[in-house]
């Protein structure tokens, strides 16, 4: 039976930890002279409804580093669900490649691709979650602290797709997850209930607050993201009036643990959710985190293909 990578919630803590350990191994191997061609003869189709820097380049290079190939399909080439049904796209592309990565607007689209595809499907981002980002986030935290267990992770800002996957990976692996978001911008209730179940098993503590200053007290990781995600452009002005108290700036970081690290999935809107002083300062891990997309995704690909 084929395995997809649609939500971190679909994997056990042991499976997620094993992927993180493999990512660390593959990262060391790469910097020691290059990766083994684990995916030689394999091709990944990359279907994009949304533009991307990190997702496109990291998946393309992950396949190349592991000896495989990647095929970029732009929004204009497919018109997913418009020019051709998602079911038909999934069945056609499955006959050409060994796996599909899709970056979509509507989460239902990636679920339908997986339903009809005969090859593994990877969720490269949807409006509900961003599991590939969460794996890079977890890898960055593990590299910094040696484990996720008991690490205090605070997310400041919109309860969006990135926050959903970050909450789930923290709850799965025992990190304490706190979010501070303004009223009306909370995490989806169903995603929170799932996280509570995971937290009961792992011992993770979850907290849902309004006050960012209260949320960062004792934080070892402060995480933020854009106030307005792709597809929400019509809300930008409204959001810009609501979110300024949630800016991650030097004074907010000073209220966290003295050795706290700051993370952001990028692209960053500097001067909005994060200041230059923080993004480029000693607490920042923005760029190692971005680079970890490459190594975390190598591990995901290797596991889905069953080669490591």
- Active-site positions? 103, 130, 133, 225, 265, 293
Q: Which helix (H) or strand (E) holds 47?
A: strand 43-48
- Measured between alpha carbons, how far is 48 from 198 in angstroms, rounded to an integer? 31
CB crowding 181-213: b at 16 or more within 10 Å, else e: bbeebbbeeebbebbeebbeebebebeeeeebe
- Give the three-class secondary structure for 138: helix
The string of DSSP codes covering 92-136 is HHHTT-SEEEEE-SSHHHHHHHHHH-SS-EEEEE-SS--HHHHHH
- Measured between alpha carbons, how far is 210 from 92 in angstroms, rounded to an integer? 47
Number of Cβ within 10 Å of residue 57's Cβ equals 14
């Amino acid at each position: 039976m084929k395995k997809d990578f649609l939500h971190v919630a679909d994997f056990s803590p042991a499976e997620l930890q094993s992927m993180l350990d493999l990512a660390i191994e593959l990262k060391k191997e790469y910097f020691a002279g290059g990766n083994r061609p684990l995916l030689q003869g394999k091709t990944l189709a990359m279907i994009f409804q949304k533009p991307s820097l990190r997702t496109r380049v990291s998946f393309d290079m992950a396949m190349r580093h592991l000896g495989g190939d990647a095929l970029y399909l732009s929004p204009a080439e497919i018109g997913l669900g418009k020019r051709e049904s998602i079911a038909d796209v999934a069945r056609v592309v499955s006959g050409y490649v060994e796996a599909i990565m899709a970056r979509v607007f509507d989460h239902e689209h990636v679920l339908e691709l997986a339903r009809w595809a005969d090859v593994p499907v990877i969720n490269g981002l949807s409006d509900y979650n961003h599991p590939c980002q969460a794996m890079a986030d977890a890898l960055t935290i593990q590299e910094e602290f040696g484990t996720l267990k008991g690490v205090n992770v605070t997310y400041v800002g919109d309860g969006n797709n990135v926050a959903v996957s970050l909450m789930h990976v923290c709850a799965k692996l025992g990190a304490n997850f706190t979010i501070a978001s303004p009223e009306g911008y909370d995490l989806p209730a169903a995603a929170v209930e799932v996280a509570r179940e995971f937290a009961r098993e792992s011992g993770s503590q979850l907290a849902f607050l309004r006050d960012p200053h209260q949320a960062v007290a004792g934080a070892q990781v402060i995480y933020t993201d854009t106030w307005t995600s792709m597809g929400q452009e019509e809300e930008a002005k409204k959001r810009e009036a609501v979110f300024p108290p949630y800016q991650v700036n030097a004074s907010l970081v000073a209220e966290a643990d003295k050795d706290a690290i700051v993370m952001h999935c990028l692209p960053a809107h500097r001067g909005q959710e994060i200041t230059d002083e923080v993004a480029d300062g000693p607490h920042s891990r923005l760029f190692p985190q971005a680079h970890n997309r490459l190594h975390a995704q190598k591990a995901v690909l290797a596991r889905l293909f069953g080669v490591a």
